[in-house]
Structure formats: C-alpha cells, structure tokens
Amino acid sequence: MDWSRKRVVVTGGAGFLGATVVQRLYERGCSEIVVPRSKEYDLRERDGILSLYRATRPEIIIHLAAVVGGIGANRANPGRFFYDNAIMGLQLMELARQFEVAKFTAVGTICAYPKLASIPFKEDELWDGYPEETNAPYGLAKKMMLVQAQAYRAQYGFNAIYLLPVNLYGPRDNFDLNTSHVIPALIRKCLEAKQAGHKEVVLWGDGSPTREFLYVEDAAEGIILATERYEGDLPVNLGTGREIAIRDLAEMIASEVGFTGKIVWDATKPNGQPRRCLDTTRAEECFGFRAQTDFQEGLRRTIDWYQSTHSVAESPTTTAA
C-alpha cells in the first residue's frame, strides 16, 4: 500500500493507541490523516459522521474510537458503554459504505470473547459463550462490528476487516484511577503509596485472574500491517500469546517502582474474566504480525513515562485491577 497517496481517517486518533497509529502512518509516508475531534464531529450522531465524510472524503478508515474503562467504569456505565460504542460502529461503517470508502479497519476488543473461553482464545471460538458480565455490554457492542463487516462484505463487497487486540499498555496510557485499566492503575497506586509512606495497597479481586498485555507500539504496528495486507472476513487476534496472573503483575510493578509494602486483595470486588490469553497464529500467517516488545521492558518504559510526566496525587484511590 502506498500510504503517500491515501486519505485516512483515524477515529480516536488523539487517544492512547490512536496517537501511536497516527505517528506510524506518518512514518510510512502518509500525509493526509484526519483525526476527528468530538467537539467538531460527534461520531455518535449521523450528522456528525456525514459532516466528517463530506469534509474529508476518506479512502481508508481506521476505527479506534471507544468509550471504555476498567471493571469499575464498566459496572457504573453499562448502558452508556453499550449504546455509544454500538452506534458509533454501526453508523461509521454504514456511511463509509455509502461513501464508497475503499477499506474499513474495525478494531474490536478482547472483551468480546466468552467468559469461560478455552485457553488460548481462538478466533473461531468467539461465539461459544456469553462475555464476562461486568464488561459484556461494551464487548458485545464492539462485537457487532464483526457481524456488520461480514454482512457488508457478503452483500455489498465492502472491504471491512475486524481485529481483536488484547489489553494494551504503554506510555500515554490512561492513569485516571476511576477509568484506567489494570497496568496504569497498579503503577499509579504503587507509586502513590510509596511516596505517601503507606504500608499497604488494596486491589480488587483475589489476584488469581490472568491477563495478556500488548505494548502500544506493537498494537499500532499490527493494525497498520492488517490494513496494508489483510483482506479477509475472519476476525484476527492481536497479542503476544503470553499471560500473567494479576497477583504476579502487581508484585512485578511494586518491585519496579520500589514499593515494599503489603499488597492486600479485596475479594468482595469482582475479578473480571478468569483468564485471557490469545492464539496469535492467524495474525502472523495472514499479515506477518508478531509482537516485538519484551513485557518487563515495556513496563519500565511505561513507568518511566508516568514518573516523568505526572505529579503524585495526595492519596491513592481504590480502583479495579
């Protein structure tokens, strides 16, 4: 793909993952990149999307925008997370079809997988059960883009692909304790506890669930490779294929930031999905993607970025892990 000749819209392009995708596109020679901002284009509204498409006439759309958060945010906002994410995806793709967009890359979520999916998660088992309850509305809303992409390819020949990235982490992540995911939440809580001289940190659940994490730079590369090379109707996982228990992750982060206090698990709070680990065979076979960043090195870069750009708050706040 000659990116220098493409007009690209990256929804969510100012966010954590999106900013990295945009940077990678510039590095590939793409100069016509539009990052719609919510103040100008409300992607939940049909008129906002129409205005965006009329103004930019995109040839490629990479849809990364999402209303998302950790376990606590999902529990507090199930209706909003379902509606906002579903309506964005449905209308963006339908109007892209009407505007004859050449390619639509839909980025879904690992939360779409069944709660008790076999390990590692294989794309062909995506429909074998209901998602974990605390994030099911979000996961199902994003999953509808896969149904839409396959239906539109079958009926209209519309070139839409669907990707399933695992949990992301890295510099510029969301460290707001009310909405953040597990890695930034743990980094912030441990650093705040260390600086405040607290002897313990309280985390949600019992620490037994496992998660797989993909460094944001690797995720961006996978999305762009898929946009360049993949033309299929099957969903594709993006990940590393390696899992870690939340308990071990918490101890690793505490060690990296120098917190020597006790980690206390609040088992009255939900664990979330019991295990997450992906089969990444399809991504490598279909478009040559394999994650490159060592997990501990990625953690260190994330911690260094946070320490260099944020002041420590007065006291830690309990959040989902």
- The 10s digit of each residue's pLDDT in 118-137 is 999 999 999 999 999 989 99
Catalytic residue, from 41, 53, 113, 138: name it: 138
Give the chain's domains with CATH numbers. Answer: 3-169+212-238 (3.40.50.720)
Question: Is the pLDDT at 57 greater than 60, yes or no?
Answer: yes
Average pLDDT (220-242) is: 98
Q: pTM of the predicted model, to two decimals?
A: 0.92
In this prediction, residue 178 has a pLDDT band, given cuts at 50, 70 and 90, of confident
Average pLDDT (191-212) is: 95
Sign of dihedral through CA atoms 68, 121, 303, 193?
A: positive
Question: Is the pLDDT at 58 greater than 70, yes or no?
Answer: yes
How many CB atoms within 10 Å of residue 231? 11
* 264-288 pLDDT per residue, tens: 999 999 888 889 999 999 999 999 9
Q: Which of 301, 308, 64 is nearest to 170 (CA)?
A: 301
Which pLDDT belongs to residue 25?
98
Question: Is the pLDDT at 222 greater than 70, yes or no?
Answer: yes
Rounded CA gap, 204 and 177, in Å?
12
Among 8-12, 179-183, 315-319, which is the least confidently predicted range?
315-319
| Number of residues written out for the chain | 321
Residue 177 CA neighbour count, 13 Å, CB half: 17
Radius of gyration of the chain (CA): 19
Q: Which of 176, 180, 86 is nearest to 139 (CA)?
A: 86
**Catalytic (active site) residue 138:** yes
Whether residue 120 is preceded by a cis peptide bond, meaning omega within 30 degrees of 0, is yes
The DSSP secondary structure of 241-261, one letter per residue, reads S--EEHHHHHHHHHHHHT--S
Average pLDDT (213-233) is: 98
Residue 47 CA neighbour count, 13 Å, CB half: 1
Question: Is the pLDDT at 5 greater than 80, yes or no?
Answer: yes
Rounded CA gap, 138 and 110, in Å?
10
Average pLDDT (198-210) is: 95
Give backbone dihedrals phi and psi of 244, rounded to 5 degrees, phi first.
Answer: -140, 140
Which pLDDT belongs to residue 311?
63
Rounded CA gap, 179 and 56, in Å?
32
